[in-house]
Amino acid sequence: MTAKLIDGTALSKTLRADVASRAAALAARGRQPGLAVVLVGDNPASEVYVRNKVKACEDNGLYSSYDRYPSTLSEADLLARIDELNRDPKINGILVQLPLPAHIDSHKVIEAIAPDKDVDGFHVANAGALMTGKPLFRPCTPYGIMKMFDAYGIALKGANAVVIGRSNIVGKPMAMLLLDAGATVTICHSKTRDLAAHTREADVVVVATGMRSILTADMVKPGAAVIDVGMNRDDAGKLCGDVDFAGVKEVAGYLTPVPGGVGPMTITMLLVNTIEAAERAARDA
């Protein structure tokens, strides 16, 4: 079997067209949606992600502000800036790019963001709302993956789903969304004893570990849907995911490529969350 590739670039294009028309409708009422992006330090990967987020705003009619701070910025100064953004009516969404430098407590920073502007969905209030079944914002990467399942007609009710990775950004919220959709969910991670024994039983596998080729063809059930969240470089410096793409493509039923799979969807869902925040703010005004 050769897997059907899930095209995140094409799906993003469709969703971004909807974002752009909703942004234009809000702008026509004097309420252009606005996203504040904050980057501390000079992590090269974070710089690329953040630049792409700001560009996606520009391309789709959202206002954006971009604060770049040196890694020496104090926690108090970052908290003061977030307080300003919380009170700025032009700003509907606030994104502080992670990871932050070690001297800054990222939990404290995330909890300082107003929950109704927390378009990442990382605040404890939003994580709790997701867990209890009434999400305000779904974290962007898992939300984008759910849109992929939906667009490609991949059934989740009763499916065995394995999530590899237990981060607050991807693994944990992904598991919650799959559970909510009726899947039987297993969360695996670096301490899991026999990863292959879990993945071989899975109809759906989401891999988010940052480790190249952690999922190989012999670990995949024929016909399974495999979602690769990884963003790594191979020995030749080429972008690659966490899945052994060439091998798994011959076994899986569906597979996301890297690049062109999950990556564009994450940014698209950030735009969607920002539009939703702006529409809510306009309704409440």
Q: Residue 140 interacts with ligand GUN (CB under 6 A)?
A: yes
The catalytic residue among 116, 117, 118, 120 is: 120
97 is catalytic: yes
Q: Residue 114 interacts with ligand GUN (CB under 6 A)?
A: no
The answer to the question of whether 167 is labelled as a binding residue is yes
Q: Residue 169 interacts with ligand GUN (CB under 6 A)?
A: yes
Pairing of strands 63-69, 160-164: unpaired
- Nearest approach in angstroms of CB 194 to ligand GUN is 29
- Nearest approach in angstroms of CB 230 to ligand GUN is 12
Sole residue written with tokens 């974070």: 46
CA distance 281 to 285: 6
Q: Which is nearer to ligand GUN, 169 or 176 (CB)?
A: 169
Q: Which of 60, 92, 97, 256 binds ligand GUN (CB under 6 A)?
A: 97
Q: Residue 120 interacts with ligand GUN (CB under 6 A)?
A: yes
Closest by CA position to 147, among listed 58, 23, 271, 243: 271
Q: Residue 219 interacts with ligand GUN (CB under 6 A)?
A: no
Residues that bind ligand GUN in the complex, under the rule CB under 6 A: 95-98, 120, 140-141, 169, 266
Write out the catalytic residue numbers.
53, 97, 120
